[in-house]
């Protein structure tokens, strides 16, 4: 069989298997095994050796030790309820503005994203905490769902981000180290957060019925001094944790793995100070960390195996020749790659998309003379949208699972559309102005 036929058949087979509901890691590995055997003449021993070497090499990757540490930190923070106190403070400070509760939610999610990076915890936590209060005060259901889902998904982009750690492990380039990726993603994450805030404020200013402010009587219960005290008290713990993780990386004091260990220790201390550090909490956090880490690593093994077989049979060369050898303008090729990632994000988990596309698209980007760090971040910004895009956006189902009574999936789908458009606008801005990504890495690491 020709390489071109095997390339198309491999992807079509994967796309046909995924909707059947099998675990994605097993689907990737199963398809890779089938086409690997076809390609090497059904030499099962050689294929098994290739698989074993990939798995062993992955488990020896020191950078990936940061994954369970960041997950453990996130689970401990979820138990310590740091976000609850911060929301209460911002609720008081911003509640008197039109759309103020929505702004408070986005602010809390942004700070929480910089301490955890776990989307499920952010979206579920904010839905349980903020959605009932917003609906009770007259906020539109669609707007409430849209801003909670979109702001909650910032955790996959704003460092410390597991997605960046996975990307660094896949790329294996000095330009795309975890430190460079973390620095490059900080400003885009903040810009997207500000976009969400600006849209919420403008829309509620134009039509106050969508997000009315809290009553004057409720706002008058708190003096200016008390508002400041509540805000500073609630911001201090997560700020200290952010510095312990990001500060040490950006200042060159610690590697990403060492910073992740410091973050996990900081989360333990924070839970202890707040009186939440019990054996039950530690056991729950450990079990959740084991499960999530096992899922990520299985996906990693399956995805790497799929990519290795695909590239080994020449599929990468076929795709590269199709895009680069076609004579198309490099920006047209860039648009095609981003469009493919965006469409895949509607149906497939972000980790699988990274594992499939990075080994194929990153060499193409280098051949087209795109900066690898810039390309990595715009790809990750694109993947953040995968949590929001119907029909299978994870953030949408996290919200739906704990939403207040009366919500339907149509409320959520309608509410998320403006925020997906804002994601696309943000992606265009990062494309047109690469300095938004490359400036901070140049300041801290001389990229």
Residue with structure tokens 């597991």? 162
Q: Rounded to an integer, what distance in angstroms lies between the CA atom of residue 315 and that of residue 38?
A: 14
Residue with structure tokens 């904010």? 126
Structure tokens at 224: 């200016």
DSSP line for 259-293:
HHHHHHHHHHHHHHHTT---HHHHHHHHHHHHHHH
Could you report the per-residue pLDDT of 6-29, keeping only the tens digit for each? Answer: 888 887 888 788 777 677 788 888
Where in the sequence is the domain holding 433, given as residue range(s)? 3-445
What pLDDT, on a 0 to 100 scale, did the predictor assign at position 210?
87
Cβ contact 113:189 at 8 Å: yes
What pLDDT, on a 0 to 100 scale, did the predictor assign at position 248?
80
Q: Label residue 168 by pLDDT band (50, 70, 90).
A: confident
Cβ contact 137:204 at 8 Å: no
Q: Rounded to an integer, what distance in angstroms lies between the CA atom of residue 91 and that of residue 101?
A: 6
Packing angle of the helix pair 315-323, 350-367 (nearest 10 deg): 60
Could you report the per-residue pLDDT of 14-68, keeping only the tens digit for each? Answer: 878 877 767 778 888 888 898 888 888 888 888 888 888 888 887 887 777 887 8
Structure tokens at 100: 């103020």
Instruction: Please state the rounded mean pLDDT for residues 296-309.
Output: 82
Could you report the per-residue pLDDT of 224-254, keeping only the tens digit for each? Answer: 677 777 777 777 777 787 787 877 877 778 8
C-alpha pair distances (Å), 422 with each of 150, 151, 193: 10, 12, 10
**Per-residue pLDDT at 428 exceeds 90:** yes
Instruction: Please state the rounded mean pLDDT for residues 380-409.
Output: 83
**Per-residue pLDDT at 165 exceeds 80:** yes
Cβ contact 237:128 at 8 Å: no
Could you report the per-residue pLDDT of 364-388, keeping only the tens digit for each? Answer: 999 889 999 999 999 999 988 888 8
Cis bond leading into 160, ω under 30°?
yes
More confident residue, 172 or 287: 287
**Per-residue pLDDT at 352 exceeds 90:** no
Return mean pLDDT, the chain.
83
Q: Which residues contact 179 (CB under 8 A, 6 or more apart)?
A: 249, 250, 255, 256, 444, 445
Q: Rounded to an integer, what distance in angstroms lies between the CA atom of residue 196 and that of residue 348?
A: 25
**Per-residue pLDDT at 304 exceeds 70:** yes
Q: Which residues contact 290 (CB under 8 A, 6 or more apart)?
A: none
C-alpha pair distances (Å), 441 with each of 139, 170, 181, 230: 40, 19, 8, 34
**Per-residue pLDDT at 1 exceeds 70:** no
Structure tokens at 42: 């059904």
| Domain count within the chain | 1
The half-sphere exposure of 104 on its side-chain side, counting CA atoms within 13 A, is: 31
> Other CB atoms closer than 10 Å to residue 248's CB: what's the count?
17
Instruction: Please state the rounded mean pLDDT for residues 193-201.
Output: 93
Closest C-alpha among 118, 119, 145 to residue 131: 145
Residues above pLDDT 70, as percent of the chain: 94
Residues above pLDDT 90, as percent of the chain: 17
Q: Rounded to an integer, what distance in angstroms lies between the CA atom of residue 357 and that of residue 368?
A: 16
More confident residue, 430 or 78: 430
**Per-residue pLDDT at 219 exceeds 70:** no
Q: Rounded to an integer, what distance in angstroms lies between the CA atom of residue 372 and that of residue 20?
A: 35
Helix (H) or strand (E) holding 215: none
What pLDDT, on a 0 to 100 scale, did the predictor assign at position 369?
92
> Other CB atoms closer than 10 Å to residue 65's CB: what's the count?
16
What pLDDT, on a 0 to 100 scale, did the predictor assign at position 198?
93
Q: Rounded to an integer, what distance in angstroms lies between the CA atom of residue 272 and that of residue 59?
A: 32
pTM of the model: 0.82
**Per-residue pLDDT at 129 exceeds 80:** no
Q: Is 390 helix (H, G, I), strand (E, B) or coil?
A: coil
Cβ contact 51:305 at 8 Å: yes
Residue 270 main-chain phi, psi, to 5 deg: -65, -45
Residue with structure tokens 């508002």? 227
Structure tokens at 98: 């039109």
């Amino acid at each position: 069989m020709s390489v071109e036929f095997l390339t198309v058949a491999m992807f079509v087979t994967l796309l046909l298997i995924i909707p059947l509901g099998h675990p994605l890691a097993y689907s990737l590995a199963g398809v890779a095994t089938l086409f690997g055997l076809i390609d090497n003449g059904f030499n099962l021993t050689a294929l098994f050796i290739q698989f074993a070497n990939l798995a062993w090499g992955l488990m020896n990757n020191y950078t990936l030790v940061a994954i369970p540490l960041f997950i453990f930190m996130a689970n401990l923070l979820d138990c310590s309820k740091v976000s609850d106190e911060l929301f209460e403070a911002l609720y008081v400070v911003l509640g008197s503005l039109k759309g103020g509760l929505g702004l408070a939610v986005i602010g809390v999610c942004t700070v929480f994203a910089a301490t955890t990076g776990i989307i499920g915890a952010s979206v579920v936590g904010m839905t349980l905490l903020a959605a009932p209060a917003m609906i009770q005060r007259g906020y539109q259901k669609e707007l409430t769902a849209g801003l909670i889902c979109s702001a909650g998904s910032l955790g996959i982009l704003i460092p410390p981000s597991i997605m960046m750690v996975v990307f660094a492990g896949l790329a294996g380039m000095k330009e795309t180290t975890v430190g460079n990726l973390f620095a490059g993603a900080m400003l885009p994450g903040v810009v997207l957060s500000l976009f969400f805030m600006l849209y919420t404020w403008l829309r509620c200013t134009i039509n106050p019925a969508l997000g009315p402010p809290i009553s004057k009587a409720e706002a008058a219960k708190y003096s200016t001094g008390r508002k400041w005290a509540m805000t500073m008290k609630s911001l201090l713990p997560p700020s200290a944790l952010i510095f312990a993780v990001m500060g040490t990386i950006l200042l060159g004091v610690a590697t990403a793995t060492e910073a992740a260990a410091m973050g996990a220790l900081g989360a333990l201390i924070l839970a202890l100070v707040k009186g939440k550090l019990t054996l039950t909490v530690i056991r729950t956090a450990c079990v959740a960390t084991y499960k999530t880490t096992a899922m990520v690593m299985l996906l990693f093994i399956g995805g790497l195996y799929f990519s290795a077989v695909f590239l080994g049979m020449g599929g990468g060369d076929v795709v590269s020749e199709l895009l680069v050898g076609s004579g198309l303008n490099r920006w047209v090729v860039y648009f095609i790659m981003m469009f493919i990632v965006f469409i895949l994000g509607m149906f497939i988990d972000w980790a699988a998309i990274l594992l499939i596309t990075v080994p194929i698209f990153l060499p193409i980007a280098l051949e087209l003379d795109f900066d690898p760090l810039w390309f990595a971040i715009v790809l990750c910004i694109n993947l953040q949208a995968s949590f929001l895009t119907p029909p299978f956006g994870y953030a949408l189902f996290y919200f739906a699972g704990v939403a207040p009574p009366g919500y339907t999936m149509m409320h959520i789908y309608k509410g998320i559309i403006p925020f997906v458009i804002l994601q696309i606008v943000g992606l265009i801005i990062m494309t047109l102005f690469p300095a938004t990504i490359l400036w901070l890495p140049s300041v801290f690491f001389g990229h």
